Amino acid sequence: MAKVVLVLGDDISTDHIYPGRYMATVLPNETPQYALADYPLNKKLNTGQIPPNSIIVAGENFGCGSSREQAVSALKGWELIVIAKNFARIFFQNAVNLGLKLVICPTIEAEEGDELEITETAVINHTKGKEFPIVPIPATRQAIIDAGGLIAYTRKRLLEERRPTY
């Protein structure tokens, strides 16, 4: 189980997630410090108050706007999980490529502090005693996320192909 650390509404853009004023910083090991820079959560992240695998819950069209990959790397750097009603197309693909954990849950209801469990078919809000079905991510994309991103997935596949078979 993990705790919800931030609840956001609809149409959260990549500029909300990683403000454009920080675009001079693009290295994945540097972007996390600016994740959600205009939200109180940023200070909590940067002072170590938020454990890995904490959850952000959002509405529709999460990650809309520009195609900046830094919005994903900033969240990935803190090992956050994003549960949203749905994701903007480019953000979703960037998240798969970088291995950010995503859950599509069109009926999600949660508040900050709620304890959630993510199963293969649902998000269970233990605080509220409710269960919400998820939309499964296609198997290949999920395998990429599970491997830690496209580079890690490709490396793993190449190593598997090179193993001798006896």
pLDDT tens-digit readout, 153-165:
999 999 888 776 6
Q: Tens digits of per-residue pLDDT, 10-40?
A: 999 999 999 999 998 888 899 999 999 999 9
Q: What does the alpha-carbon distance between residue 113 and residue 96 come to, in Å, rounded to a whole number?
A: 27
SS3 sequence, the chain? CEEEEEECCCCCEHHHHCCHHHCCCCCCCCHHHHCCCCCCHHHHHHCCCCCCCCEEEECCCECECCCCCHHHHHHHHCCCEEEECCECHHHHHHHHHHCCEEEECCCCCCCCCCEEEECCCEEEECCCCEEEECECCCHHHHHHHHHCCHHHHHHHHHHHHHCCCC
Burial of 158 (0-12, 13-18, 19+ CB in 10 A): exposed
Q: Give domain 2-162's CATH number out of 3.40.47.10, 3.40.640.10, 3.30.565.10, 3.20.19.10.
A: 3.20.19.10
pLDDT score recorded for residue 166: 67
Looking up tokens 């903007």, which residue turns up? Answer: 88
Q: Distance between CA 83 and CA 76 in Å, rounded?
A: 13
Query: pLDDT at residue 61 above 80?
Result: yes
The reported pLDDT for the residue numbered 60 is: 98
Token pair for 3: 């705790």
Write down the pLDDT at residue 165: 66
Q: Is 32 in contact with 77 (CB distance < 8 Å)?
A: yes
43: confidence class by pLDDT, cuts 50, 70, 90: very high
Predicted local distance difference test score (pLDDT) of residue 122? 98
Render pLDDT for 94-142 as a digit per residue (tens, 0 to 9): 999 999 999 999 999 999 999 999 999 999 999 999 999 999 999 999 9
The chain-wide mean pLDDT, for the chain, equals: 95
109-137 per-residue burial string, b: 16 or more CB within 10 A, e: under 16: ebeeebebebeeeebbbeeeeeebebeeb
What are the structural domain ranges in the chain?
Answer: 2-162
